[in-house]
Structure 1
Amino acid sequence: MFENREAHARSPAHEVALDCLTAGVDGADPEGATRDALAVDDGHLDVTTIETTGLDLAAFDRVLVLGGGKAAPGVVRAIDARLGDRIDDGLIVVPEDDPRVGESIGAVALEAGGHPVPTPRGVTATEKLLGMAEAADERTLVLTVVTGGASALLAAPAGDLSVGDLRRSTRALLDAGADIEEINAVRKHTSQVKGGRLASTAAPATVLTLALSDVVGDPPSVIGSGPTVPDETTYADALAVLTRHGIDVPTVKSHLDAGESGEHPETPGADGSLPDAPTHVVAGARTAIDAAAAVAEEQGYEPCVLSSRVRGEATAAAPTHVAVAEEAAAAGDPVDPPAVLLSGGEATVDVHGEGKGGPNTEFALAAALSLAGRADDAGDDLVVGAVDTDGRDGATDAAGALIDAGTVTDRSAARDALDRNDSLGFLDGRNAALRTGPTGTNVNDLRVLVVPGRR
């Protein structure tokens, strides 16, 4: 999985870290997870995750598969394997650099959109998708696929907004370090597809959603901005996000102001206005963590899950993770080594420089800086790995990085790199960046901290 793995596997602890990261990414495979969730028997479709939804396929004249996201092709492959020629039509929007753009999976076409900001191609594809949803009737089953990246890929500007307006507001929110709930509050109120509007468009069809979660806690309304899920945010909430982060995109603010004044309809809320559309989350951050933990245990390391819900600034989260690992190394708390500490979630970056990096390379560099030059030796043998499970950390070509106490030898240079948001540039110079290429999944960040032994 990892390019130049041999160069990264400098010690048994480095090898364990790489094995755990690989297992985590593989464990969140969307095709396998979706196959496990679906069963078709004698014309009856059952979808089982935490709960089960059963559907009699004889009740439908047509089956459509609609949606998007980085991991959407894997989900669709599993749906096609289970339903085959029962699928009549479909369209999913995937990143423009996906080599499968223009191809199809069974009856489902793959068309291109933009990520992490929307593009005109994404608008064209999404408007086509909305047309297919609008043509659905009461004897249509719409299987909606929503995975990480769908918020940007499924782009259909509301009102008089343009794709350029969406691009500017999305980029400004990302650069300001807004969290996903804040970003999605704005996205939902500037879109024709998000915040339950896809399900509303497809009514009176039966809508069922299969999701791969890239957000903390797996709330369906946040995954892909919840295109089939009731939205509890309002135009006022979206305006508050712009104010809080100092976002100045006049056309977007004017649209939101008009919505707050009642000139645009609110997103379908939890008031019963949206038809029932069950959502099944087939995999998420905990899926990857559990797979990584199993490999750690197989290799004789005690796994300890810190959290699957880490959020906030990546550079702030890193020293705390390192401190817990050092405590384990020095005192055997909260776990006696050899151990592997694991966490997932969605860290953010406050962009104030023009360097290259993402949340995972910033986390890794901040962790390396925290380990460097300490007076004690509790962290001497620690190895820390952090990756985005989709293989793209932010807008970079790296998945993340693997570091140890020797990664940073010039603390001033490391601090300067963080100040310039050039964590990837620094880590590339230390041969610490990890690259995988697109992985086909997306359950956000995965971090492993290997603690070889207690001194």
Structure 2
Amino acid sequence: MTMDNRAFLTELFDAAVAAADPVKALADVLPARPKGRTVVVALGKGAAQLAAAFEKLWDAPVDGVVVTRYGYAAPCRYLPVVEAAHPVPDAAGMVATEAVFKAVEGLTEDDLVVALVCGGGSALLPAPPEGLTLEDEQALNKALLSSGAPIGVMNAIRKHASRIKGGRLAAAAAPAKVVSLVVSDVPGDDPAQVASGPTVPDSVTAQDALAHISSWKIILPEGIMRHISSDASTAPDPSDPRFMGHEVKVVASARLSLEAAAARAEAMGFPAVILSDAIEGEAKDIGLMHAALAREVALRGRPFKAPIVLLSGGETTVTLGENPGRGGRNTAFLLSLAAGLEGLDGITALAADTDGIDGSEDNAGAFVDGSSLARLRACGRDPGAFIEAQDPYGAFEALGDLFTPGPTGTNVNDFRAILIEAQV
């Protein structure tokens, strides 16, 4: 692996992140000024940056609150910024949720609520219904995160065990108009899935949630199961009159960011192809699939000819064992990719979460090439042991190949780039 290749792939990542820049994303979608108050609720891992951008563009005082992950705060002129835990909620998140509800309390039809929503809001806004506790919601999140279920399934279940998800926050703001400006981190860019849709209802039912729990064999606390099975779990229907006149716009997404990365690659002299912006599945399996495709390109010149950059996005999953090590879905993808590329020269890859954090560690992802596993063995480490222990972070830490840009201020899902050079 050369530093030139790393620098090239980092430039593509930077281009993808820049395409989701909050000021750029919001500049052309601001709503009309209301007769009454403007209340801003910004929710998610990139919420503080979105809120600061909105304040700059709005250029007038606003009320409201910002909720983001610990370490992700950014200064805002008018809006208080509250930090809470992600991916498992904590007591600070409970306090933050009540501050959000307080911000939209007592509004009139002359008032406007601007909801700036991005990924991470599901965990940052715990709101257990009556009869359930924070501990129940923590257990729910832990079970979902270890289940291997896709994000759509997890959110379908979450929103039927919450007082804020599934459009309930927008319902609480009635009769004020709600404009939701969404940075999508979900495959398919359904705004009702981002942060479990606090201001965007959908038609997923409690029966659907129960079916997902059964089919994915997810073990949940008895209290959660009782609640989802009861009438109390019913989420607001999109046809509810309280949502009349509301607006929802996706202002940044994986598609737009991958297109920016492709344009940057081509400007630097490398053709690029976007495989998909909505890839889901077990991270290790998706890694092997990408490796097989890269090998076919490198060795046989099909379905694309080298040199070329393969780009993809989406959100893979990791089914955790009993005592998993460190790492997130991107490093899990990469450890599998490294196995599939072993011994093959001329291929370098980067996979990283665009929010700057892969799972719960300090890295966004890592770099790999065809020598990665051989280099692990050369430093006395067994690649198979890292795979068995579900410790991809440890593998790339040992190699010095972690990618650590820090929090980026946005979140448009995973970014994967595989550079395939012409074979000599």
- Give the Å deviation of 1:156: 1.5
The whole-number CA distance in structure 1 between the counterparts of 2:38 and 2:140 is 35
- Give the Å deviation of 1:265: 5.6
Matches within 5 A, 1:353-368: 353-368=323-338
Matches within 5 A, 1:60-209: 60-85=35-60, 87-100=61-74, 105-209=76-180
Moved more, 9-18 or 146-155: 9-18
Matches within 5 A, 1:206-225: 206-225=177-196
The whole-number CA distance in structure 2 between the counterparts of 1:88 and 1:366 is 48
The whole-number CA distance in structure 2 between the counterparts of 1:22 and 1:424 is 22
- Give the Å deviation of 1:22: 2.2
> Which residue identity does 2:221 align to in structure 1?
V
- Give the Å deviation of 1:11: 4.7
Secondary structure of 1:37's aligned partner = coil
> Which residue identity does 2:371 align to in structure 1?
G
Q: Pairwise CA RMSD of aligned residues? A: 1.8
Instruction: Label 1:273 to 1:419 Cα distance change in 2 as closer, same or farther (>3 A).
Output: farther
- Please tell me whether residue 443 in structure 1 is matched to residue 418 in structure 2: no
The whole-number CA distance in structure 2 between the counterparts of 1:99 and 1:209 is 21
Q: Paired residue for 2:221, among 245, 249, 260?
A: 249
The whole-number CA distance in structure 2 between the counterparts of 1:227 and 1:391 is 24
Q: Paired residue for 2:352, among 360, 367, 387?
A: 387
Q: What TM-score do the two structures reach when normalised by structure 2? A: 0.94
1:368-423 alpha-carbon deviations (Å, 9 max, x no partner): 111114xxxxx311001100011110111111010101100268922331221101
The whole-number CA distance in structure 1 between the counterparts of 2:305 and 2:12 is 18
Ranges in structure 1 where 5+ consecutive residues have no aligned partner: 1-8, 39-44, 46-54, 374-378
The whole-number CA distance in structure 1 between the counterparts of 2:226 and 2:402 is 42
- Give the Å deviation of 1:267: 0.7
Q: Paired residue for 1:420, among 389, 400, 412?
A: 389
Matches within 5 A, 1:396-435: 396-409=361-374, 413-435=382-404
The equivalent residue for 1:270 is 238
Q: What TM-score do the two structures reach when normalised by structure 1? A: 0.88
The equivalent residue for 1:24 is 16
Instruction: Label 1:11 to 1:76 Cα distance change in 2 as closer, same or farther (>3 A).
Output: closer
The whole-number CA distance in structure 2 between the counterparts of 1:137 and 1:158 is 26
Cα pair 2:42 2:51 within 8 Å, conserved: no
Cα pair 2:363 2:406 within 8 Å, conserved: yes
Cα pair 2:42 2:48 within 8 Å, conserved: no
Secondary structure of 2:40's aligned partner = strand
Moved more, 89-98 or 358-367: 89-98
- Please tell me whether residue 337 in structure 1 is matched to residue 337 in structure 2: no
Cα pair 1:303 1:341 within 8 Å, conserved: yes
1:209-243 alpha-carbon deviations (Å, 9 max, x no partner): 01111100110110111111122122222223333
Percent identical among aligned pairs is 37
The whole-number CA distance in structure 1 between the counterparts of 2:410 and 2:291 is 27
Cα pair 1:28 1:441 within 8 Å, conserved: yes
Ranges in structure 2 where 5+ consecutive residues have no aligned partner: none
1:26-46 alpha-carbon deviations (Å, 9 max, x no partner): 2222232222433xxxxxx4x
- Give the Å deviation of 1:273: 4.3
The whole-number CA distance in structure 1 between the counterparts of 2:268 and 2:248 is 36
The equivalent residue for 1:372 is 342
The equivalent residue for 1:49 is none
1:110-163 alpha-carbon deviations (Å, 9 max, x no partner): 112221111111111111211221221111100011101011112221122111
1:311-363 alpha-carbon deviations (Å, 9 max, x no partner): 11110011211222222222332322211110000011111142101110011
